[in-house]
Amino acid sequence: MRFRMYGTIARVLWVLNAVSTSFSQELIGDETKPAPAAAASGSKEMKSGSIVITPGILYASSLVGGEFEFGVSKIASFMFGVGFIGADAGVGFHVLNKEHMDLSINALADYMPALQSVLPEICFSVRGFFGQSARVGLGGRIGISIITNTIDVNGHHYTAGGPMLTYCIGVPIRVKN
């Protein structure tokens, strides 16, 4: 069971990598000269030094939480989240990064006090920004965490090495672009 899951995750990552290569020229490109369309439209792509705050439901392993994302380049970012009972931290790799849309693959470490452990997670995040300024939008994330220890919580038995579905929905706000 475990090997099939890891094989499936590897196939999904391979497909996403293949899809992202079609966007790589646009995302990596020559940073010394802005693209004509981006320069003319005042593009709001995430770039080095950008900050996005996302309050939402089920963020940071909590019922209500928030996440802070700091762009270190056009395609990479660091993020950390805090909630009422949990926390997370990790890195994001932006596959598609446009003014009104952002798709990323995130690798996180989730702290879940109920499970008394830190869980590794890989997830896919989609954010859409609205309006003329494209500052506020709607975002969601879905992923898989791997349970790191065997424990019983509220009548549920969690086995080490088993997968756990993770998801959340929130309102991303671009603070700095």
Summarize pLDDT for 96-143 with one digit per residue, the tens: 988 899 999 999 999 988 888 899 999 999 999 998 888 999 999 999
**At 128, which CATH number?**
2.40.160.20
Nearest alpha carbon to residue 78 among 109, 99, 55: 109
Q: Report the domain count for the chain.
A: 1
Of 122, 127, 92, which Cα lies nearest the Cα of 110? 122
Question: pTM above the 0.85 mark?
Answer: no
24: confidence class by pLDDT, cuts 50, 70, 90: very low
Q: Decide the pairing of beta strands 76-83 and 101-112.
A: unpaired
Alpha-carbon gap, residue 42 to 109, rounded angstroms: 35
Residue-range definition of the domain harbouring residue 16: 2-176
Which residue in 162, 127, 143, 145 sits closest to 46, CA to CA? 127
Q: pLDDT grade, residue 8 (50/70/90)?
A: low
Task: Give me the pLDDT at residue 26, please.
Answer: 43
Provide CB contacts within 8 A for 93, sequence distance 6+.
75, 76, 104, 105, 106
